[in-house]
Amino acid sequence: MMMSVTDFQQRFEAVEKEASKVLLGQDEILHQTLIAVFSGGHVLIEGVPGLGKTLLVRTLSHVLGAQYKRIQFTPDLMPTDVTGGNVFNQKEDRFVFHPGPVFTQLLLADEINRAPAKTQSALLEAMQDFAVTADGVTRPLPDPFFVIATQNPIESQGTYPLPEAQLDRFLMKLYVRHPTPAVEKRILASHAQGFSAAKLEHAQLERIVSAEEMSHMRAAISQVRIDDGILGYITDIVSKSRSHRSVYLGASPRGSIGLLAAARANAAAEGRQFVIPDDVKSLAAPVLRHRVILHPDAEIEGLRTDDCVEEILRETKVPHTAA
Protein backbone atom coordinates (compact mmCIF):
# COMPACT_ATOMS: atom_id res chain seq x y z
CA MET A 1 0.00 0.00 0.00
CA MET A 2 1.32 3.44 -0.98
CA MET A 3 2.27 5.64 1.97
CA SER A 4 0.64 9.07 1.97
CA VAL A 5 2.53 12.37 2.28
CA THR A 6 0.87 12.89 5.68
CA ASP A 7 2.20 9.53 6.89
CA PHE A 8 5.63 10.50 5.56
CA GLN A 9 5.55 13.74 7.54
CA GLN A 10 4.58 11.95 10.77
CA ARG A 11 7.36 9.38 10.47
CA PHE A 12 9.91 12.01 9.41
CA GLU A 13 9.10 14.17 12.44
CA ALA A 14 9.25 11.12 14.73
CA VAL A 15 12.73 10.24 13.42
CA GLU A 16 13.91 13.83 13.93
CA LYS A 17 12.50 13.96 17.45
CA GLU A 18 14.09 10.66 18.49
CA ALA A 19 17.50 11.48 17.02
CA SER A 20 17.53 14.95 18.58
CA LYS A 21 17.49 13.34 22.05
CA VAL A 22 21.18 12.59 21.46
CA LEU A 23 22.16 15.13 18.79
CA LEU A 24 21.92 18.31 20.82
CA GLY A 25 21.96 21.58 18.87
CA GLN A 26 22.23 19.84 15.48
CA ASP A 27 18.65 20.39 14.29
CA GLU A 28 19.52 21.87 10.90
CA ILE A 29 22.18 19.34 9.93
CA LEU A 30 19.95 16.49 11.17
CA HIS A 31 17.02 17.76 9.08
CA GLN A 32 19.14 18.16 5.95
CA THR A 33 20.77 14.74 6.38
CA LEU A 34 17.37 13.09 6.66
CA ILE A 35 16.14 14.97 3.58
CA ALA A 36 19.11 13.55 1.66
CA VAL A 37 18.63 10.02 3.01
CA PHE A 38 14.93 9.88 2.12
CA SER A 39 15.70 11.41 -1.29
CA GLY A 40 17.94 8.42 -1.96
CA GLY A 41 21.13 10.49 -1.84
CA HIS A 42 24.45 10.50 -0.02
CA VAL A 43 25.84 13.14 2.34
CA LEU A 44 29.31 14.62 2.86
CA ILE A 45 29.79 16.26 6.25
CA GLU A 46 32.77 18.54 6.86
CA GLY A 47 34.06 19.71 10.21
CA VAL A 48 37.00 19.48 12.57
CA PRO A 49 37.22 16.39 14.81
CA GLY A 50 35.08 16.25 17.94
CA LEU A 51 31.90 17.92 16.67
CA GLY A 52 29.70 14.81 16.66
CA LYS A 53 29.83 13.81 12.98
CA THR A 54 30.25 10.11 13.77
CA LEU A 55 27.65 10.31 16.54
CA LEU A 56 25.14 11.66 13.99
CA VAL A 57 25.60 8.63 11.73
CA ARG A 58 25.49 6.07 14.54
CA THR A 59 22.36 7.69 15.94
CA LEU A 60 20.64 7.49 12.55
CA SER A 61 21.53 3.80 12.24
CA HIS A 62 19.67 3.17 15.52
CA VAL A 63 16.63 5.30 14.72
CA LEU A 64 16.29 4.19 11.08
CA GLY A 65 16.86 0.52 11.89
CA ALA A 66 19.57 0.37 9.23
CA GLN A 67 22.44 -2.10 9.13
CA TYR A 68 25.53 -0.01 9.79
CA LYS A 69 29.24 -0.33 9.02
CA ARG A 70 32.12 2.07 9.29
CA ILE A 71 35.28 2.46 7.24
CA GLN A 72 38.08 4.52 8.73
CA PHE A 73 39.85 5.99 5.72
CA THR A 74 43.63 6.12 6.02
CA PRO A 75 46.47 6.77 3.53
CA ASP A 76 47.23 3.03 3.25
CA LEU A 77 43.61 1.88 2.75
CA MET A 78 43.23 -0.21 -0.43
CA PRO A 79 40.17 -0.30 -2.74
CA THR A 80 39.55 -3.97 -1.84
CA ASP A 81 39.38 -2.92 1.83
CA VAL A 82 36.21 -1.07 0.81
CA THR A 83 34.59 -3.32 -1.78
CA GLY A 84 35.93 -6.74 -0.81
CA GLY A 85 37.56 -9.21 -3.18
CA ASN A 86 38.13 -12.80 -4.18
CA VAL A 87 40.13 -15.02 -1.83
CA PHE A 88 41.29 -18.53 -2.76
CA ASN A 89 39.54 -21.22 -0.72
CA GLN A 90 41.79 -24.27 -0.50
CA LYS A 91 38.99 -26.59 0.68
CA GLU A 92 36.78 -25.74 -2.27
CA ASP A 93 39.74 -25.24 -4.63
CA ARG A 94 38.29 -22.01 -6.00
CA PHE A 95 38.17 -18.28 -5.44
CA VAL A 96 35.38 -17.09 -3.15
CA PHE A 97 34.21 -13.49 -2.96
CA HIS A 98 34.44 -11.93 0.51
CA PRO A 99 32.22 -8.83 0.64
CA GLY A 100 33.77 -5.67 2.04
CA PRO A 101 32.16 -3.24 4.50
CA VAL A 102 30.42 -1.41 1.61
CA PHE A 103 27.86 -4.23 1.64
CA THR A 104 25.61 -2.63 4.22
CA GLN A 105 22.65 -0.23 4.34
CA LEU A 106 24.26 2.75 6.08
CA LEU A 107 27.96 3.19 5.42
CA LEU A 108 29.99 5.69 7.39
CA ALA A 109 33.05 6.69 5.35
CA ASP A 110 34.98 8.36 8.14
CA GLU A 111 37.60 10.98 7.22
CA ILE A 112 37.20 10.06 3.54
CA ASN A 113 39.73 12.67 2.41
CA ARG A 114 42.59 10.96 4.28
CA ALA A 115 42.71 8.19 1.65
CA PRO A 116 44.21 8.64 -1.84
CA ALA A 117 41.99 9.08 -4.90
CA LYS A 118 42.28 5.44 -5.98
CA THR A 119 40.64 4.26 -2.77
CA GLN A 120 38.07 7.06 -2.74
CA SER A 121 37.05 6.05 -6.26
CA ALA A 122 36.24 2.54 -5.05
CA LEU A 123 33.03 4.07 -3.70
CA LEU A 124 32.02 5.68 -7.02
CA GLU A 125 30.20 2.70 -8.53
CA ALA A 126 28.57 1.84 -5.21
CA MET A 127 27.23 5.38 -4.76
CA GLN A 128 26.01 5.78 -8.34
CA ASP A 129 24.80 2.29 -9.35
CA PHE A 130 24.24 0.73 -5.90
CA ALA A 131 26.39 -2.20 -6.96
CA VAL A 132 29.99 -3.40 -6.76
CA THR A 133 31.87 -5.05 -9.64
CA ALA A 134 34.78 -7.33 -8.77
CA ASP A 135 36.57 -9.54 -11.32
CA GLY A 136 33.82 -9.03 -13.87
CA VAL A 137 30.92 -9.92 -11.56
CA THR A 138 28.50 -7.18 -10.50
CA ARG A 139 26.85 -7.63 -7.11
CA PRO A 140 23.94 -5.45 -5.94
CA LEU A 141 24.16 -3.66 -2.62
CA PRO A 142 21.43 -3.94 0.06
CA ASP A 143 18.35 -1.75 -0.22
CA PRO A 144 18.31 0.92 1.04
CA PHE A 145 21.96 1.88 0.69
CA PHE A 146 23.32 5.30 1.54
CA VAL A 147 26.73 6.74 2.36
CA ILE A 148 27.39 9.41 4.93
CA ALA A 149 31.00 10.49 4.63
CA THR A 150 32.89 12.81 6.95
CA GLN A 151 35.92 14.85 6.04
CA ASN A 152 38.25 17.23 7.81
CA PRO A 153 38.71 20.72 6.33
CA ILE A 154 41.11 20.50 3.38
CA GLU A 155 43.59 22.70 5.22
CA SER A 156 44.09 19.88 7.74
CA GLN A 157 47.35 17.96 7.68
CA GLY A 158 47.39 14.71 5.69
CA THR A 159 44.24 15.26 3.61
CA TYR A 160 43.62 14.66 -0.10
CA PRO A 161 41.02 16.78 -1.95
CA LEU A 162 38.11 14.69 -3.21
CA PRO A 163 37.98 14.48 -7.05
CA GLU A 164 35.11 16.33 -8.76
CA ALA A 165 33.56 13.03 -9.90
CA GLN A 166 33.49 11.80 -6.30
CA LEU A 167 32.05 15.06 -4.94
CA ASP A 168 29.30 15.04 -7.57
CA ARG A 169 28.00 11.70 -6.25
CA PHE A 170 27.05 13.34 -2.94
CA LEU A 171 23.60 14.89 -2.92
CA MET A 172 24.59 17.34 -0.19
CA LYS A 173 27.65 18.75 1.50
CA LEU A 174 27.00 19.96 5.05
CA TYR A 175 29.15 21.88 7.52
CA VAL A 176 29.26 21.09 11.22
CA ARG A 177 30.08 24.16 13.29
CA HIS A 178 31.16 24.53 16.88
CA PRO A 179 28.16 24.58 19.23
CA THR A 180 27.01 27.76 20.94
CA PRO A 181 27.95 28.09 24.63
CA ALA A 182 24.35 27.27 25.61
CA VAL A 183 24.33 24.06 23.53
CA GLU A 184 27.80 23.09 24.76
CA LYS A 185 26.57 23.45 28.33
CA ARG A 186 23.66 21.08 27.53
CA ILE A 187 26.15 18.60 26.06
CA LEU A 188 28.23 18.77 29.25
CA ALA A 189 25.13 18.30 31.40
CA SER A 190 24.18 15.23 29.35
CA HIS A 191 27.64 13.70 29.85
CA ALA A 192 27.57 14.59 33.54
CA GLN A 193 24.37 12.53 33.80
CA GLY A 194 26.11 9.50 32.31
CA PHE A 195 25.67 9.81 28.54
CA SER A 196 28.53 8.27 26.53
CA ALA A 197 28.79 8.43 22.75
CA ALA A 198 30.82 5.19 22.88
CA LYS A 199 27.88 3.40 24.55
CA LEU A 200 25.04 4.68 22.43
CA GLU A 201 22.96 1.58 23.11
CA HIS A 202 22.52 2.84 26.69
CA ALA A 203 20.76 5.95 25.35
CA GLN A 204 17.69 3.76 24.75
CA LEU A 205 16.98 5.18 21.31
CA GLU A 206 13.87 3.74 19.70
CA ARG A 207 13.82 2.43 16.16
CA ILE A 208 11.21 4.56 14.42
CA VAL A 209 11.22 3.02 10.93
CA SER A 210 12.40 -0.20 9.31
CA ALA A 211 14.27 -0.68 6.04
CA GLU A 212 10.97 -1.60 4.36
CA GLU A 213 9.27 1.54 5.69
CA MET A 214 12.19 3.63 4.42
CA SER A 215 11.49 2.30 0.93
CA HIS A 216 7.80 3.24 1.31
CA MET A 217 8.79 6.73 2.51
CA ARG A 218 11.04 7.23 -0.49
CA ALA A 219 8.18 6.16 -2.76
CA ALA A 220 5.81 8.62 -1.03
CA ILE A 221 7.97 11.54 -2.15
CA SER A 222 7.01 10.79 -5.77
CA GLN A 223 3.46 11.95 -4.94
CA VAL A 224 4.70 15.50 -4.35
CA ARG A 225 3.68 17.71 -7.28
CA ILE A 226 6.21 19.99 -8.88
CA ASP A 227 4.92 22.71 -11.21
CA ASP A 228 6.57 23.73 -14.45
CA GLY A 229 7.46 27.08 -12.85
CA ILE A 230 9.49 25.34 -10.15
CA LEU A 231 11.27 23.19 -12.75
CA GLY A 232 12.21 26.40 -14.56
CA TYR A 233 13.35 27.96 -11.28
CA ILE A 234 15.69 25.05 -10.56
CA THR A 235 17.00 25.15 -14.13
CA ASP A 236 17.70 28.89 -13.89
CA ILE A 237 19.57 28.54 -10.60
CA VAL A 238 21.81 25.72 -11.81
CA SER A 239 22.38 27.37 -15.20
CA LYS A 240 23.53 30.56 -13.48
CA SER A 241 26.00 28.54 -11.42
CA ARG A 242 27.79 27.84 -14.70
CA SER A 243 27.84 31.45 -15.92
CA HIS A 244 28.56 33.29 -12.64
CA ARG A 245 31.58 35.58 -13.00
CA SER A 246 33.38 34.04 -10.00
CA VAL A 247 32.76 30.40 -11.01
CA TYR A 248 35.26 28.32 -12.98
CA LEU A 249 33.10 25.17 -13.12
CA GLY A 250 29.37 25.11 -12.35
CA ALA A 251 26.94 22.37 -11.32
CA SER A 252 26.07 19.54 -13.72
CA PRO A 253 22.56 18.27 -14.55
CA ARG A 254 23.06 15.86 -11.63
CA GLY A 255 22.93 18.96 -9.43
CA SER A 256 19.58 19.95 -10.97
CA ILE A 257 18.19 16.46 -10.41
CA GLY A 258 19.49 16.47 -6.82
CA LEU A 259 17.91 19.85 -6.06
CA LEU A 260 14.60 18.61 -7.48
CA ALA A 261 14.67 15.44 -5.34
CA ALA A 262 15.65 17.32 -2.18
CA ALA A 263 12.96 19.98 -2.69
CA ARG A 264 10.26 17.32 -3.05
CA ALA A 265 11.47 15.54 0.09
CA ASN A 266 11.45 18.83 2.00
CA ALA A 267 7.87 19.50 0.88
CA ALA A 268 6.82 16.01 2.03
CA ALA A 269 8.57 16.55 5.38
CA GLU A 270 6.36 19.60 5.87
CA GLY A 271 3.23 17.65 4.88
CA ARG A 272 2.77 19.42 1.53
CA GLN A 273 1.87 17.67 -1.72
CA PHE A 274 3.47 20.40 -3.80
CA VAL A 275 6.86 22.12 -3.96
CA ILE A 276 7.20 25.84 -3.26
CA PRO A 277 10.20 28.10 -4.07
CA ASP A 278 11.29 28.09 -0.41
CA ASP A 279 11.92 24.33 -0.64
CA VAL A 280 14.41 25.02 -3.41
CA LYS A 281 15.96 28.07 -1.72
CA SER A 282 16.54 26.34 1.62
CA LEU A 283 18.45 23.45 0.01
CA ALA A 284 20.27 25.20 -2.85
CA ALA A 285 23.48 25.75 -0.86
CA PRO A 286 23.80 22.19 0.56
CA VAL A 287 23.09 20.66 -2.87
CA LEU A 288 25.28 23.00 -4.96
CA ARG A 289 28.19 24.15 -2.76
CA HIS A 290 30.40 21.14 -3.52
CA ARG A 291 29.57 21.13 -7.24
CA VAL A 292 30.81 24.68 -7.86
CA ILE A 293 34.50 25.42 -8.33
CA LEU A 294 35.57 29.05 -8.01
CA HIS A 295 38.14 30.92 -10.05
CA PRO A 296 41.47 31.15 -8.17
CA ASP A 297 41.13 34.96 -8.10
CA ALA A 298 37.76 34.68 -6.35
CA GLU A 299 39.22 32.30 -3.75
CA ILE A 300 42.10 34.69 -3.11
CA GLU A 301 39.56 37.44 -2.46
CA GLY A 302 37.97 35.23 0.19
CA LEU A 303 34.77 34.45 -1.73
CA ARG A 304 32.98 31.21 -0.78
CA THR A 305 30.78 29.01 -2.95
CA ASP A 306 27.91 29.74 -0.55
CA ASP A 307 28.31 33.46 -1.34
CA CYS A 308 27.90 32.67 -5.05
CA VAL A 309 24.81 30.52 -4.42
CA GLU A 310 23.25 33.28 -2.30
CA GLU A 311 23.93 35.83 -5.03
CA ILE A 312 22.43 33.53 -7.68
CA LEU A 313 19.28 33.08 -5.55
CA ARG A 314 18.93 36.85 -5.21
CA GLU A 315 19.27 37.34 -8.98
CA THR A 316 16.90 34.53 -10.01
CA LYS A 317 13.24 35.39 -10.50
CA VAL A 318 11.00 33.48 -8.09
CA PRO A 319 8.03 31.84 -9.81
CA HIS A 320 4.44 32.19 -8.64
CA THR A 321 2.99 28.76 -7.94
CA ALA A 322 -0.56 27.64 -7.24
CA ALA A 323 -1.12 25.55 -4.12
Please say which residue of 194, 216, 245 terminates a domain: 194
Q: Are residues 45 and 94 in the same domain?
A: yes
- Please indicate, yes or no, if residue 323 is contained in any of the structural domains: no
pLDDT at position 158: 63
Q: Are residues 166 and 253 in the same domain?
A: no
Q: Which structural domain, as residue segments, surrounds residue 233?
A: 224-315
pLDDT at position 322: 56
pLDDT at position 48: 78
pLDDT at position 258: 95
Q: Are residues 49 and 172 in the same domain?
A: yes
Report d(CA 190, CA 37) in Å as an integer.
27
Nearest in space to 152 (alpha carbons), one of 57, 241, 72: 72
Please say which residue of 153, 174, 194 terminates a domain: 194
Domain CATH for 18: 3.40.50.300
pLDDT at position 298: 78
Low-confidence ranges of the chain (pLDDT < 70): 1, 154-158, 202, 321-323
What domain count does the chain have?
2
pLDDT at position 21: 87
- Please indicate, yes or no, if residue 302 is contained in any of the structural domains: yes
